Structure 1
Amino acid sequence: MNKVLLLTLAATLTACSPSQPSETVDFLVANPKRIKEIQRLCKEDRAKVGDELCRRAAEAANRRFFGDRPEKKSK
């Protein structure tokens, strides 16, 4: 019984931890609503959200805006 309680507690605590590292730039590019949400959170409390996630959201927004256009070659 004690082991089950500890396992349940560990699973609960793991579920409560932020899953920000899984939100890569590519993931965010595919999810524009999440980009907007992260940008809003970054404006409200950047320290809580974290610089890394705010940077990823900014990079994803740039990629969505500019797209993956090939660079023009100059002659």
Structure 2
Amino acid sequence: MPKFLAEGESQMNFRISADKKEAFKKYAEEHNTSASKLILEFIDSCLGIVPTKEQADLTEVRERLSRLEDLVMGESAA
């Protein structure tokens, strides 16, 4: 989960079974992406939004930063 939201962004929360969550995360990993990115791409496709290259690059940077933060925070919490 992102630690900081960019201007104009908000979060969406929903419930999902633990089994589906893990299967979806595994699917994303097998396809070299993240669950968040897949969900955002799905929403964009439903709305007919085609992301620009710059938006896609920024999304990727944010996801990598979030994973790095999770790793660092996980190590410091141990």
TM category, shorter: 0.3 to 0.5
Of structures 1 and 2, the larger Rg is shown by: 1
TM-score, scaled relative to structure 1: 0.32
> Greater relative contact order (Cα 8 A, min sep 6): structure 1 or 2?
2
Q: Which has the higher helix share?
A: 1
